[in-house]
Structure 1
């Protein structure tokens, strides 16, 4: 699944760059990455495809390839831990993809990290949410071209969990999350309204433990109970599943 998604991403991003049909008409493709096993594996596959495209560029100059200098990278959520912590999505994406492609550092929009000596659930968490919202308003004023989403077995996306205020009542584009059911308890996340300002939303779902949730998403069931069912792109919404997670499989 990850390999297929990565190939489709290369075609989509390079096609948007060639046509200029980006959500903000500046030729920059705005991509929101997701963490988790499937999301990071997609990052690894993108790095491999990019390496292959560069190594064969002279022989096959027309092969699809991403111009990383015209990509803005965002993250759907982040664990509010110190910079460089192995649990941070940006750190995992750096190791899997971003260190291996020619993307300018200023094109990578990271969430602020937990400052040294400050409590994770204190005012710094709210400040981090405000700062990332300002960054989005500056660099993605019209939304995103594509938002990749992982999904938990209970249907959570980003750090938006079932029947929580952060899912159902958050305003704006970014919300501070406290008392998260999964550790660490403090996170920063895009809101569902920010997700739904994406032209394309792709959900990446792998494993038998997520099959039930994938079925509820496919059927468009109660979004308060199954948050992924609320995620829709303005042009395109795709539920990518592997064999074990496929709710239509016999």
Structure 2
């Protein structure tokens, strides 16, 4: 099992700024080691907050963004441009400001682009395969961001749904999501776990139970986040409210100093 860490920050703003700073540093280090990187983005309020903080970070221009391709872990199956789509939120927060080429932004299909949601899932799987090394079904994801629901779901893998148990597929349609909209597209857990690093960003008291169960190695069928494990490292970035049910010895308390742009343990 690879290393898991839990890093705790005082509040949502400090959390977003710290993750943004670490993301920029990680991308610079990755691009020093390889020609191109692949990053998987997430949605939700904290996902958007982190990307906004990246855009506003003083070091944002020190990353060669032209050498990064962006994917998503899941998507609400809605029309293109819908404000509830993860793609729309990510573009607004960061991607549009980076002036990326169209080929660098690999969005899930939107409603109307394919005859069925199953065809949409197959299309995204084909996009992933086209960017993969020979013999693989997906590119090597250098970093995957995930949000976590109060029920412990990640991407659109929900407790006790067939998708969370699927070990063969790359992309699946979810047609009965317990939270709206009911139709979604998602990467499967094995694909997420093939990522070099997985960063889970959680904030608020409603996430405390899910975080506690994840660290207690609950059954992923019941708590999907418990099944998340990056190949090199898995890091939970959380605020104090989300960390309320985690024993202190499992936590790394950090203070993010905005003015100095530094992290001290």
Q: What residue number does 1:34 align with? A: 42
Match of 1:198, SS state, is coil
Counterpart Cα distance in 1 of 2:110 and 2:167: 21
Map of 1:99-248 to 2, 5 A cutoff? 99-115=96-112, 124-140=116-132, 141-169=138-166, 171-246=168-243, 247-248=245-246
Counterpart Cα distance in 2 of 1:93 and 1:156: 20
- Number of residues paired by the alignment? 228
Counterpart Cα distance in 2 of 1:201 and 1:212: 20
Residue 66 of structure 1, CA deviation: 1.3
**TM-score, with structure 1 as normaliser:** 0.87
**2:32 aligned with 1:18:** yes
Counterpart Cα distance in 2 of 1:169 and 1:191: 7
Is the deviation greater in 75-84 or in 101-110? 101-110
**TM-score, with structure 2 as normaliser:** 0.82
What are the superposed Cα offsets for residues 207-238 of structure 1, whole Å, 9 maximum, x if unpaired? 00010110011122111111001011000011
Counterpart Cα distance in 2 of 1:9 and 1:227: 24
Residue 103 of structure 1, CA deviation: 2.0
Moved over 6 A (4+): none
Question: In 1, are the aligned partners of 2:177 and 2:183 still within 8 Å (CA)?
Answer: yes
Counterpart Cα distance in 1 of 2:166 and 2:37: 29
Counterpart Cα distance in 2 of 1:99 and 1:248: 37
Q: What residue number does 1:81 align with? A: 78
Residue 249 of structure 1, CA deviation: 6.4
Residue 19 of structure 1, CA deviation: 2.1
Residue 31 of structure 1, CA deviation: 0.4
Is the deviation greater in 166-175 or in 194-203? 166-175
**2:4 aligned with 1:6:** no
Counterpart Cα distance in 1 of 2:199 and 2:59: 24
Greater RCO (Cα-Cα under 8 Å, separation 6 or more):
2
**2:35 aligned with 1:43:** no
Question: In 2, are the aligned partners of 1:243 and 1:249 still within 8 Å (CA)?
Answer: no
**RMSD across aligned C-alpha pairs, in angstroms?**
1.6
- Unpaired segments ≥5 residues, structure 1: 21-26, 58-64
Match of 1:172, SS state, is coil
